[in-house]
Amino acid sequence: MGDIKLDHKYEAAIFAGGCFWCMVSPFDVFDGVIEVKSGYTGGHIENPTYKDVKTQTSGHYEVIKIIYDPEVISYDKLLQAYWRQVDPTDDEGQFQDRGPSYRTAIFYTTEEQRQTAELSRKTMDESGRFPDPIVTPILPAVVFYDAEEYHQDFYKKSAPEYKADRKISGRDEFIKKYWGDEYYDIYE
């Protein structure tokens, strides 16, 4: 991650892809990504807690908010990485995590992001990579709430628990099945 330039305009990308613990590390490695925060968006409760969201009744998605430098990394590249992290054909959750808070979604912050996301989803859907249609919605960004501190950078802070959870989640097997070695192309 680069140094923050105070006179520079950064942008935000917000993605829901199931458990936010597994969504941070794939984006943390890119040059131009300043910060990746775990949080909640889209629900009807102000200042939700993890406990609120876990009930699956608050309407929130577990999401990540990526602050990035568009002069170093494009929104399109972030979208390409996003599609490699999720099962975009599952509208009931992701892998072992089931329920509304674990669904996929792309939350756009600008009209340009909306258009780029729509084209990216269309391209992915027409690629034939997945046997079922893509159901990931593209929605306008609403209030983002930071998750509790212990969720931030969970893959670093609680590596053994993160690795154990990731191992049983089914995410890596799905990625290998549908992306194989192509998964790494985006990181080169």
pLDDT (tens digit per residue) in 137-155: 999 999 999 999 999 999 9
Q: Catalytic residue at 22?
A: no
For residue 16, give the H/E element and its range. Answer: strand 11-17
**pTM of the predicted structure, to 2 decimals:** 0.93
Which CATH number is correct for 11-187, 3.20.20.370, 3.30.1060.10, 3.30.365.10, 3.30.360.10? 3.30.1060.10
Catalytic residue among 13, 14, 19, 34, which? 19
Q: Using a CB cutoff of 8 Å and minimum separation of 24, what contacts does 86-93 make?
A: 86/17, 86/18, 86/136, 87/130, 87/174, 88/121, 88/124, 88/130, 88/134, 88/135, 88/136, 89/130, 89/131, 89/132, 89/133, 89/134, 89/135, 90/135, 91/135, 93/18
pLDDT digits (tens, 9 = 90+) for 57-102: 999 999 999 999 999 999 999 999 999 999 999 999 999 999 999 9
Name the residue among 49, 45, 39 with its Cα closest to residue 58: 45
Mean pLDDT of 162-187: 92
Give 5 or 16, the one with higher predicted confidence.
Answer: 16
Higher pLDDT, residue 25 or 185: 25
